[in-house]
Amino acid sequence: MTFSMIEVRTRWIGEEGRDASPMDLFGKVNDPIAHFVLHTLGWIRVNYFGQTYEVSLDPRSVRTAAVESFVAWMKEMHADATRPWLVKISAFTGRDWISVTDTAPEGIIAFLDRILEFGKPAAVPETLQVRQCPLDRAAGFGVEAVNTVIERWKAKGQGLPIDDPSVRALLATAKSGCTVKILSRDNIGRIVFGTYTPSLTTLWSRDSWGRFLGAPVGEVVPDRALGSAVELSARRVMETGRATVETWEGPVLSSTGIIADLAWDRLTLPLTSHEPNDAVLVVTHRLTPVDTDRLAS
């Protein structure tokens, strides 16, 4: 009988997209450590021998930089037509592993796209509908100070300071028509209220918004689902550095426990407090009941 030995090597792609090793973290590797770096830290594991690769990742935790690095590596490998390769990629769904095997990057990338979509948290609660609008829709708010802030932001590029005169002017003048708030990231990464200037049509009672200052949005807004959506939206604008105008529509739970179907426009504009884009200015305009006839039709 003839035996052959194959040496299987392991490569880890860390959260920053570079080669990493659990040995560097713990001085050893065992099953729980491998589980931790794969599922908690979001690394990608590549077991390989020759040109055969077995790739494992957890879409719930894998980092974008790690995925980009893996895809770039695969494309680079594919460019060398003289060395055919085979990849079996496995993704953990939270219950089980699903996998595909391919010899070209396209199939693997399509699989990755699908599986990573599953891992993403919902952008907003399903009950709230959000539609993106062009930035110039904010002119329709009819508040001159809003237009001034947008112009200042465009002129300044990425660095409109949180205490810019145009921002202060908006906070001072917007009391009747719009709700204006500044949300910022605190020292442990939470999104908290910096200022809150209610409009006449605000949903929240004075008792409710009186508690907003300095408090985490997701905790203090009486409608928690709305609070989470506002928080996610603020994080998105902080990450991209792009101002957005959106139309939001859906049921909202007021301070008094009444659920109302409402629609409103919303400008979210990145500001700079301590570092670029670590705060956002949010202007909410026209909190009106949803046209139920239109919905029915």
Partner 1 sequence: MYSYASPTNAPATYPFLRAIDAIHPEHEASRDVMSRAAMALQSDLDRYGYTLDVVTDVQVFTDIVSSVGKFVPNAFDPKMKPARPGDIFGLVLRDAEGKVAATNGCRLYRLGVTTLADHLATLALFYANPVEQMARGERLSIDGPANDYAMTVDDKAIWVGCFWVRPDLRKAGSNASYVLPFAARFLGAAWWGRLITFSIVESWARKQVAQKRLGEPDVYEHIRWFRPHIPDRTDMVLMVTEPDVPVERCHKYLRGEGRFFVGAPNQTERVVSAGD
Using CB under 8 A, list all residues that contact partner 1.
Answer: 24-28, 30-33, 35-36, 39-42, 58, 60-61, 94, 121, 185, 188-190, 216, 218-219, 224, 228, 235
- 89 contact partners, CB below 8 Å, separation of at least 6: 55, 56, 57, 99, 100, 101, 102, 108, 111, 112
Q: Which is nearer to partner 1, 168 or 211 (CB)?
A: 211
Handedness of CA 90, 91, 93, 94 (dihedral sign): positive
* Closest distance to partner 1 from the beta carbon of 32 (Å): 4
What's the Rg (C-alpha) of the chain? 25
* Closest distance to partner 1 from the beta carbon of 281 (Å): 20
* Closest distance to partner 1 from the beta carbon of 17 (Å): 15
Q: Which is nearer to partner 1, 200 or 259 (CB)?
A: 259
Sheet holding 259-271, edge to edge: 129-133, 244-253, 259-271, 279-289, 178-185, 191-197
* Closest distance to partner 1 from the beta carbon of 185 (Å): 8
Q: Which is nearer to partner 1, 219 or 291 (CB)?
A: 219
* Closest distance to partner 1 from the beta carbon of 206 (Å): 17
Strand partners, 249: 129, 263
d(CA 15, CA 24): 14
Q: Which is nearer to partner 1, 163 or 186 (CB)?
A: 186
d(CA 168, CA 269): 14
Exposed e or buried b for every residue in 277-289, given b needs 16+ CB within 10 A?
A: bebbbbbbbbbee
* Closest distance to partner 1 from the beta carbon of 115 (Å): 13
Helical packing angle, 64-79 and 105-119, nearest 10°: 170
Q: Which is nearer to partner 1, 145 or 234 (CB)?
A: 234
Query: Tokens for 169?
Result: 């002017």
Q: Which is nearer to partner 1, 84 or 94 (CB)?
A: 94
Which among 228, 224, 217 is positioned nearest to 193, based on CA atoms?
Answer: 217
* Closest distance to partner 1 from the beta carbon of 39 (Å): 5
d(CA 214, CA 37): 35
Q: Which is nearer to partner 1, 24 or 117 (CB)?
A: 24
* Closest distance to partner 1 from the beta carbon of 229 (Å): 13
Q: Which is nearer to partner 1, 34 or 133 (CB)?
A: 34
Q: Which residue has the tokens 């689902």?
A: 225
Q: Which residue has the tokens 């026209």?
A: 286
- 154 contact partners, CB below 8 Å, separation of at least 6: none
